[in-house]
Chain A
């Protein structure tokens, strides 16, 4: 991978030049939180952000989108509004890039999703490193360092950024800046190693995921799930803010007596009571305990079987938003705990 350095004082020029690759969207403050939004001026960018309220999936799988309209005599017309909008996501953390890589697998796998894929092709990603806070456990989920899924990735070295060029598009970006980047020196390499070690020590939250799928397999009947079911409110907030929760519902909107309508897709959550309800009144996961158990199993066990890694990236959003204080890291620790009473 090509590696260069960029003086920090010239980051605003880089962003100015990147506008030729699309609208620049970056982290901006919203109250005491942060969101990804189009930058109207450079000073709106808050590169010191912790995490955004919503992850990047909102760009590729909007909370609500119209898939197509239909009318008798005309057939189906796909709604392609905004599908071709070129965007540069600037200042994306490693865990969120990991999340995108996971969504790419899901929406580009056996059943490619044309809406997701079209949007994804238009979007460039410029990553930036970050300082973990009390909710971050990306290191435990092996998502604190990314090696793909970005066009450029900026590593903070104090007065400059060590820059990884991840794709040919990233290389085009470097070329377009006409001399903004410099070759890497020995000092840069040493500073990078120092920064990497320092960042490693900043993580305060740890989750041990070694043999976790096996433990999940054996703890299917654990009383922990019933306890969680008592606490969970089924609000679905954790799913909404999760970078890798991709469940959606599809519904037709038809006016009574008309011959035309539209099909929409909206975010859904496996924690909603209706998620596994089917016609005839059957609900395969009627209890909250079964729903929250399903969510955790899908993240930490099912996904490993399907794709070789958990779909949790340790971004900490679910810990941050859960009104009941349900904590993925605590649950993993709880499942690993030896139950001495049961062992006797």
Chain B
């Protein structure tokens, strides 16, 4: 029996989480949720999800950036794909940090509202790459 890949969504926007959950569960993924960065890092450490989706602006407008950096420092999560989602680039004029900046250390950026097809494609690709790497690791 194979278990469904688990995706942790770190976002304080309930409506967004609900719709993302519906989308991902329909595709057979198990969705975990954390409403803020601190809880997100704790859950990620505890549950070691297969993929993490992080919002940028939560209680603080740069909270997601700190979360991404924090997650990248957890050895157990090395290799776990992290997707950043945000609407701030569109609606906050002073926020002109390019989403492709190296320092964000993410595996994918998706502006809100999210294009479901491209997100699902990216999730499938990231999980397949990860699964392949794990399998290779098993044979070593």
Footprint of B on A, CB under 8 Å?
7, 9-10, 12-13, 15-17, 19-20, 23, 39-43, 176-180
Contacts and interface: CB of A to CB of B under 8 A. Distances in A.
Nearest to A17: B103
A38 B60 CA distance: 17
Nearest to B64: A16
B60 A16 contact: no
B103 A176 contact: yes
Contacts of B103: 16-17, 19-20, 176
B66 A179 contact: no
B95 A13 contact: yes
Nearest to A39: B66
Q: Nearest 10 A-B pairs (CB), nearest first?
A: A20-B103, A16-B65, A16-B62, A12-B62, A19-B69, A41-B66, A19-B103, A42-B62, A43-B60, A42-B60
Given A19-B103, A20-B103, A176-B103, A13 B62 contact: yes
A293 to B, nearest CB: 47
B62 to A, nearest CB: 5
Contact of A178 (B37, B59, B61, B96): B96
B18 interface: no
14 contacts: A9-B94, A16-B66, A17-B97, A17-B101, A20-B105, A23-B73, A39-B66, A40-B66, A41-B37, A41-B38, A42-B62, A42-B63, A43-B59, A179-B96
Given A17-B103, A42-B66, 12 more contacts: A7-B94, A12-B62, A13-B94, A13-B97, A17-B97, A17-B101, A19-B103, A20-B103, A41-B60, A41-B63, A43-B60, A180-B97
B102 interface: yes
Contacts of B59: 43
| Interface SS, A side | helix
Interface of B: 37-38, 41, 59-63, 65-66, 69-70, 73, 94-98, 101-103, 105
B70 A16 contact: no
Nearest to A179: B96
A40 B45 CA distance: 15
A231 to B, nearest CB: 46
Nearest to B103: A20
B38 A12 contact: no
Among B61, B65, B73, the one with the most A-chain Cβ atoms within 10 Å of its Cβ is B65
Contacts of A43: 59-60
